[in-house]
Amino acid sequence: MIAQIRMRVLSLPRRWKQAILVAFDFAALSCALWASFCLRYDNWYVPYSLDQWAIVVSAPIVAIPIFIRMGLYRSVVRYLPERAMWTIMQAMLLATVVWVVAVFLSEMAGRGVVPRSVPVIYFGIGTFIVAGSRFVAKWAFLSKLNRQGADHKAIVIYGAGDLGLQIAQSLRSTHYIAGFIDDNPGLHRREMGGIRVYGPGKLRELVSEYGVADVILSISSLTTQRRKEIVASVSEHGVKIRTLPSIVDLVTGKYLVSQIKEIDIVELLGRSSVPPDPELIRSMVVGRSIMVTGAGGSIGSELCRKIARWSPQRLVLFEANEFALYQIEQELADLPDLSVVPVLGSVIDQARVKSIIMQNDVKVVFHAAAHKHVPLVEANALEGIKNNIFGTHVVAETAYTCGVENFVLISTDKAVRPTNVMGATKRWAELIVSDVAARAEAAGTGQRFCAVRFGNVLGSNGSVVPLFKKQIAQGGPITLTDAAMTRYFMSIQEAAELIVQAGALSEGGDVFLLDMGEPILISDLAENMVRLAGLTVRNQKNPDGDIEIVVTGKRPGEKLYEELFYDSASAEFTQHAKIMRANSRSQVLKIADEIGQIREAVSSNNEHSARHVLFDLVRRSG
């Protein structure tokens, strides 16, 4: 019975709840003033004259407008902050003073005399009843809700515009909206949809008073820089910041306004997006038989997803890892009108590669298969050479002899002046492709071989982002090899899209460079990820923070910073704003002898000799 009454009260419209509070205060303050006179005269009596009734009801008539003005009816009782006690005391004190003045001016007390102790007693009783009733109601409703596991969490919405109002209306049934935060000073202290608007400086107070755990960013027109600033300032308070879906997602129905998503680290990269050129993608993909090596890897699988949307004649998934191949094949199997050929095999198996290309009449090859983890390849140099150099040599040579029209090598910024085995093997891969491209051009086959070079992709296998996420989930610490280390970053979706378009721009022998924006400090990336998780960084300035960042020292072969160009002055712009072409044709080397030397070193298991041949060619190619 009590539970039913409680739920009925909670389900009442807000205006009804406010009316109940006003009625209660009217009756309570009338009783408080009556009790004050009774206590003063030590005589409990029932008012019998019109004058006595007028005095009793004059107290709430004076007090309630003051209560309204001071916001006592704006707060939701079950989320009433402790600070509200002081507001109630201030409101009662002001109401008492105004009542005393009103009584004397109107001579409602007959001879114009009210005992001096009556206002004091009235103030004490009125404060006790008004404040006590609210905190009792808060305990009765909120504590019960919490015991039942209701999800009425307190949140703050950053942005008091139309989107903010929509999200507030959508979340009222499941969350308590503690307030809006807005940068516009003209909105501060006003109410939008019955919710108070505060300045950014009030966020700490709201978090402390209401236990706010989430701030929802509802401003759609933010620049990346301003978004970074807001995330940094909000996350200092140990809250999680979320955002509305993009307008495109809302229009297409992918999300509803009520569906809030967490801010992705990609949104803080500071990169401006450029829509893909459909003609470039169409000319590369539509109606053609395409093979992707390393199809189950992070880059390879994303390439497959992009290609599958543009109606290829056939998509051959070439992958050495059985489980990875199974995953991407199952994902693409649900797409209509797509012919998918899953192939389990190694890129160093020339017979296997040739038979697959010939059986499926492959016209385009995206060669993404490679060992990419720098420390692991450094510790297993011979395996890295086999997969990255011999694998590229096999696939490129086979594509040439089988008449493949387009070949695209997925390279890396670590191929520029490499200091590690992984980077050096990728530089060899670029040189192999350039050599094959030069032979194709000399023979007039019309085949186009190119490489696409770019930096790190967020979320790829072996990148720092999944590692940092795991370390944050475990409570830290986050391990950095060097606080000054920088890297280029882009989203894996953008990288895959640009790779396909770069392949369409190829004239043969090109090395394309994707615009990676500005390099990012890995330490800044780590701090942003901590903030986006709703946590704080523990350091000298904040010894009570949640996650510590520890510097462990550089690993073998690591560089403090990466480069995209051997010579930035020679880079040429293409018709796509995010794709540049390196002037690499003068760097074409005939490397047949070097391939033989390094193959002999690997066959004899001589890592020292293999490293010597590996880096000697890299030095000569730079």
Structure tokens at 610: 């293999």
Task: Pick the range with the lowest mean pLDDT from 214-218, 262-266, 399-403, 530-534.
Answer: 262-266
- Listing DSSP states for 280-307 in one string gives HHHHHHTT-EEEEETTTSHHHHHHHHHH
| Average pLDDT score over residue span 515-532 | 77
Higher pLDDT, 135 or 573: 573
Residue 149 — very low, low, confident or very high, per pLDDT cuts 50/70/90? very low
3-class DSSP state for residue 223? coil
| Average pLDDT score over residue span 391-414 | 93
Higher pLDDT, 609 or 97: 609
Task: Pick the range with the lowest mean pLDDT from 114-118, 314-318, 328-332.
Answer: 114-118
pLDDT for the residue 399: 95
* Tens digits of residue pLDDT in 378-397: 999 999 999 999 999 999 99
SS (H, E, C) 211-274: CCCEEEECCCCCCHHHHHHHHHHHHCCCCEEEECCCHHHHHHCCCCCCCCEECCHHHHCCCCCC
| Average pLDDT score over residue span 67-77 | 66
| Average pLDDT score over residue span 61-76 | 72
Question: Across the chain, what does the average pLDDT equal?
Answer: 78
State the number of CA atoms in the 13 A half-sphere of 448 facing the CB: 16
- Listing DSSP states for 349-405 in one string gives -HHHHHHHHHHTT--EEEE------HHHHHHTHHHHHIIIIIHHHHHHHHHHHTT-S
Can you name the CATH fold of 153-263?
Answer: Rossmann fold (3.40.50)
Q: Is the pLDDT assigned to residue 535 strictly greater than 60?
A: yes
Measured in residues, the chain has a length of 622
Taking the CA atoms of the chain, what radius of gyration do you get in angstroms? 35
In 3D, which of 18, 29, 22 has the Cα closest to residue 128? 29
Q: What percent of the chain has pLDDT over 90?
A: 24
| Average pLDDT score over residue span 108-130 | 71
Task: Pick the range with the lowest mean pLDDT from 231-245, 378-392, 479-493, 520-534.
Answer: 231-245
In the DSSP assignment, the letter for residue 413 is G
Each domain of the chain, given as residue ranges in start order, spans 2-147, 153-263, 278-621
**Which of 7-11, 158-162, 557-561, 571-575: highest mean pLDDT?**
158-162
pLDDT for the residue 397: 95
* Tens digits of residue pLDDT in 291-302: 999 999 889 999
pLDDT for the residue 250: 42
In the DSSP assignment, the letter for residue 543 is T
Rounded CA-CA distance 192/181 in Å is 11
Ramachandran class of 270: left when φ > 0, alpha when ψ lies in -120 to 50, beta otherwise? left
Enter the CATH code of domain 278-621.
3.40.50.720
Query: At a CB cut-off of 8 Å and minimum separation 6, what does 476 contact?
Result: 538, 546, 547, 548, 549
| Average pLDDT score over residue span 166-188 | 80
Q: What percent of the chain has pLDDT over 70?
A: 77
Q: Is the pLDDT assigned to residue 251 strictly greater than 70?
A: no
Q: Is the pLDDT assigned to residue 473 strictly greater than 50?
A: yes
Cis-peptide into 418, omega within 30 deg: no
Residue 83 — very low, low, confident or very high, per pLDDT cuts 50/70/90? low
Asked whether the domain spanning 278-621 has the same topology as the one spanning 153-263, the reply is yes
Are the CB atoms for 411 and 369 separated by under 8 Å? no
- Angle (CA) 67-69-73 rounded to 5° is 55
* Tens digits of residue pLDDT in 345-373: 999 999 999 999 999 999 999 999 999 88
pLDDT for the residue 545: 78
Q: Is the pLDDT assigned to residue 311 strictly greater than 60?
A: yes
Q: Is the pLDDT assigned to residue 263 strictly greater than 90?
A: no
Q: Is the pLDDT assigned to residue 145 strictly greater than 50?
A: no
Structure tokens at 345: 């095999």
3-class DSSP state for residue 5? helix
Rounded CA-CA distance 425/392 in Å is 10
Q: Is the pLDDT assigned to residue 73 strictly greater than 70?
A: no
| Buried-state track 357-380, b at ≥16 Cβ within 10 A, e below 16 | beebebbbbbbbbbbbebeebbeb
Residue 584 — very low, low, confident or very high, per pLDDT cuts 50/70/90? low
- Listing DSSP states for 558-589 in one string gives --SS--S-S-GGG-EE-SSTTEEEE--GGG--
Torsion sign over Cα 567, 568, 573, 577: positive
pLDDT for the residue 138: 64
